[in-house]
A and B are shown apart, each in its own frame.
Chain A
Amino acid sequence: DIQMTQSPSTLSASVGDRVTITCRASQSISSWLAWYQQKSGKAPKLLIYKASSLESGVPSRFSGSGSGTEFTLTISSLQPDDFATYYCQQYDSYSLTFGGGTKVEIK
């Protein structure tokens, strides 16, 4: 199975900061990588698919990049609504796997 490793596991940042989260795959997954945002007690929300495609309705401050085994999610200017946990997910094979998550906290 493909393993996904996210870093950092926790990130403290202020409103307006540029934030970057990294996700590494244990083998190449081409661009079959998604990013989700999850708030406490809620279902995850799709932000980015195919590594860099922005889901409809998601603010443009979110962007994704990478291919192969290294991927990043960037929030260009952190907003109060963005404090949440973020997960990457590979879908190269149907044994879908998630990263361990990155909690973005208020500094």
Chain B
Amino acid sequence: EVQLLESGGGLVQPGGSLRLSCAASGFTCSIYAMSWVRQAPGKGLEWVSGISGSGGNTYYADSVKGRFTVSRDDSKNTLYLQMSSLRAEDTAVYYCAKSRGTTTVVTDYWGQGTLVTVSS
């Protein structure tokens, strides 16, 4: 059974850093594209970052480029999102999601999300 379990969210001050983790089970994370998607309170979905399956190419939304870094530890079957220079507008539930196949980026399985609150 495919499962994605995010962790690492919490309260952080503006300008601070946080690392989110997404532990995957039931599939091999390294051969699928993986994405991070966030949802601010009461708002819609916003794609944040992605990493390709083969090659591990990384991609970012303009809103987080230069501040966030996506990575993957294949030995732990875990996806990460390192977030720095955090702003109030980064406050959101962050979801990790798995691509539907090895040659596509459309997502089929999502985690339950982890809440990041940026506030002083």
Contacts and interface: CB of A to CB of B under 8 A. Distances in A.
B113 A43 contact: yes
Contacts of B105: 91, 94, 96
Nearest to A56: B108
Contacts of A44: 37, 45, 95, 110
Interface residues of B, number: 23
Contacts of B47: 89, 95-98
B72 to A, nearest CB: 16
Interface of A: 1, 32, 34, 36, 38, 43-46, 49-50, 55, 87, 89, 91, 94-101
A101 B47 CA distance: 14
Given A87-B44, A97-B47, A98-B46, A46 B113 contact: no
Most buried by A among B104, B105, B106: B106
Contacts of A87: 44-45
